[in-house]
Amino acid sequence: MDRPNKPAALSPSSTGPQPTVRSDKGRVTATLPTGDSVEVLTYGATVISWKSGSGQENLWVSEAAKLDGSKPVRGGIPVVFPCFGPPPKDHATGKLPQHGFARNSQWEFLGKSSSESGASSSKADDSVTLDFGLSTAQLSEEAKKAWPFDFGLVYSVTLGKGRLQTMLNVRNEGKTSFEFQMLLHSYFRVEDISRTETRGLGSVTYVDKVLNATEHQQTDPNVRITGEVDRVYKSIKIDTTSIVEGGQPRLDITRDNLEDTVLWNPWIEKAKGMGDFEPKDGYKKMLCVEVGAVEGWQKLEPGDTFEGGQIVKSHV
């Protein structure tokens, strides 16, 4: 499907020296000649680090996050599929845990496609893509039983200069249709939440999970975080949500074929209640801006595919 506002993808070009890619003990790391780097666990295909060429880390990961595959990672970019939040009991996903099984399944590293631009192009064209796959056969028996559909996921993580693109491709490999939700649960690092605001969500309707899932309209175009925030912004018209710190642009998050965005910060009490959230005042250093398709359900007929994701630009 051709979409009118489709962002330009970070596509690997074909000439020049190669970025470095290493895969070792369930971790895949890629580094560009510019110094930009990304690190991804095969567990959950979770991106756990994304640094700009300056060395600046763009993602927040809890100091108590489990990185050994024993539970979903508290931080980075966990992949949420096929349900967001606790699934409705009367839906086909009803027996799955909160946020589904993708974030705590063991994915396969499918390989890289890398590039450098060569002498004639600018270094900004350099990029490397890491592909990860998850299909029914790789699921735990428990997950297979709870959601008995044949599917194939390919998650493509593309690192460019000052940019990270993460795209999820969902394919129905079975003989019956299925419904799903998906979301990229990105934990972004900020210096100081009290000086941080998001832009691009003005006039959008959101469901406030902190206020009994009631619907509200975002009147202030600049959203400041001054307490617990857990909101699902729906059917957003502007493609890019920006994180701004002290009036300076920090990160631009552009949705691709996704209409919803969750804004989440647990703040003091919720952070205290999470065993894997450290340091306890870490809520001052993070903000989740999670792009997804979580309002209602995406239906996929046998053989059909859906693709959605984000391109994030770092300004530092």
Ligand X SMILES: O=P(O)(O)OC[C@H]1O[C@@H](O)[C@H](O)[C@@H](O)[C@@H]1O
For residue 33, the minimal CB distance to ligand X (Å) is 35
**d(C-alpha 53, C-alpha 37), whole Å:** 7
* Residues β-bridged to residue 128: 114, 159
* Contacts to ligand X from residues 272-311, by CB under 6 A: 290
* Contacts to ligand X from residues 66-95, by CB under 6 A: 72, 85
- CA torsion 104→259→157→93, rounded to 10°? 20
Q: Which is closer to ligand X, CB of 126 or CB of 147? A: 147
Indicate left, alpha or beta for 145 from its phi (over 0: left) and psi (-120 to 50: alpha).
Answer: alpha
The response to whether 27 counts as a known ligand-binding position is no
Does residue 98 belong to the site contacting ligand X (CB under 6 A)? yes
Does residue 260 belong to the site contacting ligand X (CB under 6 A)? no
Burial 21-35 (b: 16+ CB within 10 A, else e): beeeeebbbbbbbbe
Q: Which is closer to ligand X, CB of 95 or CB of 209? A: 209
Q: Which is closer to ligand X, CB of 10 or CB of 232? A: 232
216 in active site: no
Q: Which is closer to ligand X, CB of 51 or CB of 185? A: 185
**d(C-alpha 110, C-alpha 133), whole Å:** 6
* Contacts to ligand X from residues 41-60, by CB under 6 A: none
- Cβ atoms of 224 and 273 within 8 Å: the answer is no
Total binding residues toward ligand X, as defined by CB under 6 A: 10
Which listed residue (185, 197, 228, 301) is catalytic?
185
For residue 126, the minimal CB distance to ligand X (Å) is 33
For residue 209, the minimal CB distance to ligand X (Å) is 5
**d(C-alpha 62, C-alpha 270), whole Å:** 14
Which listed residue (290, 295, 301, 315) is catalytic?
290
Does residue 262 belong to the site contacting ligand X (CB under 6 A)? yes
**Pairing state between β 108-115 and 127-135:** antiparallel
Q: Which is closer to ligand X, CB of 129 or CB of 181? A: 181
For residue 235, the minimal CB distance to ligand X (Å) is 17
The response to whether 103 counts as a known ligand-binding position is yes
**d(C-alpha 185, C-alpha 193), whole Å:** 18
**d(C-alpha 7, C-alpha 22), whole Å:** 29
Query: Smallest Cα–Cα separation from 313: which of 157, 170, 160?
Result: 160
For residue 21, the minimal CB distance to ligand X (Å) is 28
Query: Smallest Cα–Cα separation from 259: which of 242, 231, 238?
Result: 238
Query: Smallest Cα–Cα separation from 130: which of 32, 21, 46?
Result: 21
290 in active site: yes
* Contacts to ligand X from residues 162-191, by CB under 6 A: 185
The response to whether 98 counts as a known ligand-binding position is yes
Q: Annotated binding site for substrate: which residue ranges?
A: 74, 98, 103
Positions annotated as catalytic residues are 185, 290
Which residues sit at the interface with ligand X, rule CB under 6 A? 72, 85, 98-99, 185, 209, 230, 262, 264, 290
